[in-house]
Amino acid sequence: MKAYSTEGYRLTILSILLVFLVSGCSLTRRLKDNQALVRKITIKGVDKEFSEAAINYVDKDQQPNNKFNLRLYYWFSKNGKKDIGEPPNIVDTSLVEFSKQQIQKFLRNKGYLKAAVTDTIKVKNKRAELIFTATEGPMFRFRKYSDSIADKKVEHLYRQYLSSFTHVRPGGRYDADTLAYERDGIYTLMKRNGYYDFLRQYITFDADTTFNKSVADVKMIIDNPQGKSTHPTYKINNTTITISNTSGRNTGPADTLKVDSQYKFIDYSHKFNPRIITIYDFQKKGELYNIDRQILTTSRLAELNVFRNVPNPAYEKLADSTNRLNKRIDLVPLKQMSDRVEGEFLFNGGRYGFNIGNTFTDRNLFKSATILQVKLNYNTLFDNGSNSTVRGAVENQEFKLGASVTYPQILFPFHLPILGKYGVPHTTFASSYSLFFQKGLVERQSFVNSISYDFTETASKIHTVTPIDIEFSRGTINEQARDSLLNKGYYSYVYLIGRTIFTSGSQYTYQLNANKLNSYQNFIYFRGSLDIGGNTLSLLSNVFNTPRDTAGQRTFFGYTFAQYSKAEVDVRFYKDLGHEQQFILRLNPGIGVPYGNSSQLVFEKNFYVGGANDIRAWIPRTLGPGQFNRASYGSDAAANELRSRLRYLDQFGEIKFVANAEYRYKIANNFFGSALKGAFFVDAGNVWRLHKQDQFPNQEFRLDNILPSTAMAVGTGLRFDLTFFVFRLDAAFKFKDPEFSGSDQWVLLKHGDELFHSGTFKNTYRQTNGDSYNFMQLNFGVGMPF
């Protein structure tokens, strides 16, 4: 194998930096003598509240380039790839004049009705600074606000709901935005109350600003339609629902059906039951037209995930004078069947493996928009490390098979209202089987069956309730491994991974602001989950006095059952820093407590940390618990064998705490067809055992052990945003490693010279731990880490 020195890495990095520096120095040399590159914009004389916003009114072609984007453009433009990066923004006096007028208009719209702006261009070494100087003058405020409405019914409606939408306040700033909000509020109010024909043009504002005290008297006027004395209201009549075939054509024979005396259902695809569409039509016959219900109908039909490009319902006035509207809903179905194959490859410290999965989806089972998904997944890990007994042998592998049926409605023995105002509710029946094999240690099988309900309380609040969750797991431990563990006194490991157990429980999850996760806003995201199991079985076993096993635990149908409570919280604070920059702080604690019929959590219910969405410098299941160091097994051949058997299975805990801080920013708008974004991050946390472990000290959760046993990682990453999904590459470095003690924990500071080569530290670690030490971990993923 070819070796690479640290010096080689440094030379490569220096070469890349040199190319960028040279390209940066030559940027202005490529300009003509009469050209100058816009490098700075200065706004003077503008109130601090609006100074930052005023810069946005400078034409985009006169904004300073992102230096990285500009260098990319010049770097790749040699090869004709002009669509990579950003072309230089050259001073254009006509655009500067236009920008000046836009800033002046902006200030006047904000209440400075006498504002005037001048511009100056300063050029030095072909670099230009654009200076816009404003004389704002007095800020005008509302003094009086009155109305004149010809239609008395409209007048009554307006005054009844005025306080719920008005932005006009006496003494408040007189600006165009406030009046625009007022117009939109009136328009929406009318559209919610049957006024289908109402237009914004009927609303005008008459402002008197001739006073000497910088105040304005404003009258809001709503005119009647030309030639009419009132504004008509409309009611819904009949509805025609037309479903095309998947190509969008209405050809061939169609299923035609009259439903509930108000719906005409025409289905050219022959694949839908009318009811699944009509229950999410929120405008019924005889009801007043309401734009909110129109939008709601469109949103819910789109959320069924069986149609593409769901348009708003169309309306047609009846020819008579009854002011009724016939409604038409035209839908084009997605392809009913789809199949997706996914895969990934892992390489870390001599271990390599792959994960391959296949997901089959039927979007319209039983003609009711019910989604059937069948998932198949297989992953395996090979050990090619120097401590492997058989190089290239399979270390562990796992096979998973699962199926779920999701119905777009709440299925319940008793009548429940349709919870579709803020989102389509779902009932999901799920069943899965998994088989896990760890070389030389254990084979575990598990079955999980559940029924779940999810519904949206508001646009930002999502509830998921799993009233029934039945899990059965069986472990078969290798006899030699059992003897080895027992000889070492590790009975708890034998009991944990080798037992057969089942439980029946319930789960609940609450999410807040999940709909904002892809936005640049200031908000708090919250996800809390509670998992409780075994209480019903405990009650029944006590009532029927079921037998106990050799450990004194109750059994049910001949099997020991688990009893536990587990809770986890994920709270994130999102802060928008402007210009597509964002700071996120995430806190993710969790705790699981066995009680009653259990002395330990079910193996699958324990917490693990590490991985691409967690503490990123450690691969999954290789950190903790607490200050646990795998060197504590010993350094002889038997210890190495034991370490190998228990790898990925001995670093778990009943308590978890993870914290992440991440700064995200944009690098380039166009990088080979994607937006290129970057991130710097700090990850910290660990898992801990609930109780003291005699064989391994400092694994348990104690207040005086939190800081010494907390791991820390730092890193940076790239995100390739393709709009529909994001590819992510993160490089994370171990900064503080709790498996060591004292100052030795600060591994990157103390042993950073061995980042890319082996020295005393890495060699000693290999001797004591039987494994290599990796400072850096590369993580590739799809989607953001959180």
For residue range 163-181, what is the model confidence (pLDDT) as tens digits?
999 989 889 999 888 999 9
Q: Which two tokens stand for residue 447?
A: 């079955």
**How much is the average pLDDT of 577-583?**
88
**How much is the average pLDDT of 689-718?**
92
**How much is the average pLDDT of 24-37?**
72
SS3 state at 575: strand
Place 374 in a pLDDT band, splitting at 50, 70 and 90. very high
32 contacts 54 by C-beta, under 8 angstroms: no
Place 6 in a pLDDT band, splitting at 50, 70 and 90. very low
Place 10 in a pLDDT band, splitting at 50, 70 and 90. very low
Does the pLDDT at position 421 exceed 90? no
Place 694 in a pLDDT band, splitting at 50, 70 and 90. confident
574 φ/ψ angles, rounded to the nearest 5 degrees: -105, 125
**How much is the average pLDDT of 331-343?**
91
How far is 603 from 654, CA to CA, in rounded Å?
Answer: 10
Structure-model confidence comparison of residues 418 and 199, the more confident one: 199
**How much is the average pLDDT of 704-721?**
94
For residue 605, the model assigns a pLDDT of 92
Does the pLDDT at position 16 exceed 70? no
For residue 21, the model assigns a pLDDT of 43
- Within 188-336, strands assigned E span 203-208, 215-222, 235-243, 255-259, 263-267, 314-317, 324-331
**How much is the average pLDDT of 218-244?**
95
Nearest C-alpha neighbor of 233 from the set 294, 286, 284: 286
Q: Which two tokens stand for residue 645?
A: 């058997």
For residue 29, the model assigns a pLDDT of 63
**How much is the average pLDDT of 184-199?**
96
How far is 99 from 107, CA to CA, in rounded Å?
Answer: 12
Place 20 in a pLDDT band, splitting at 50, 70 and 90. very low
**How much is the average pLDDT of 87-99?**
93
For residue 5, the model assigns a pLDDT of 38
**How much is the average pLDDT of 109-120?**
93
How far is 117 from 50, CA to CA, in rounded Å?
Answer: 14
**How much is the average pLDDT of 437-446?**
90
**How much is the average pLDDT of 262-275?**
95
Does the pLDDT at position 143 exceed 80? yes
How far is 303 from 277, CA to CA, in rounded Å?
Answer: 11
Does the pLDDT at position 239 exceed 60? yes
pLDDT tens-digit map of 482-504:
888 888 778 888 888 888 888 99
Prior bond of 333 cis (ω within 30°): no
702 contacts 693 by C-beta, under 8 angstroms: no
Q: Which two tokens stand for residue 226?
A: 């030309």
Tokens 């309380």 -> residue? 457
pLDDT tens-digit map of 624-637:
999 999 998 888 88
Does the pLDDT at position 394 exceed 80? no
How far is 89 from 72, CA to CA, in rounded Å?
Answer: 14
For residue 343, the model assigns a pLDDT of 76
271 contacts 364 by C-beta, under 8 angstroms: yes
Q: Which two tokens stand for residue 688?
A: 């801990």
Does the pLDDT at position 8 exceed 50? no
Query: How high is the mean pLDDT of the chain?
Result: 89
Place 579 in a pLDDT band, splitting at 50, 70 and 90. confident
**How much is the average pLDDT of 296-320?**
93
Nearest C-alpha neighbor of 203 from the set 168, 255, 248: 168
Does the pLDDT at position 518 exceed 50? yes
108 contact partners, CB below 8 Å, separation of at least 6: 115, 176
Does the pLDDT at position 294 exceed 90? yes
Place 726 in a pLDDT band, splitting at 50, 70 and 90. confident
Place 81 in a pLDDT band, splitting at 50, 70 and 90. low
Q: Which two tokens stand for residue 169?
A: 């306040």
SS3 state at 105: helix
Place 347 in a pLDDT band, splitting at 50, 70 and 90. low
394 contacts 354 by C-beta, under 8 angstroms: no
Nearest C-alpha neighbor of 119 from the set 139, 142, 95, 143: 95
For residue 398, the model assigns a pLDDT of 92
For residue 256, the model assigns a pLDDT of 94
For residue 128, the model assigns a pLDDT of 94
* Residue 143: Cβ-neighbour burial (10 angstroms; 0-12, 13-18, 19+): middle
How far is 107 from 216, CA to CA, in rounded Å?
Answer: 16
Nearest C-alpha neighbor of 335 from the set 223, 462, 247: 247
**How much is the average pLDDT of 345-372?**
85
Share of residues in the chain with pLDDT > 70 (%): 93
The residue type found at 502 is F
DSSP at 115: -
Place 282 in a pLDDT band, splitting at 50, 70 and 90. very high
DSSP at 90: B
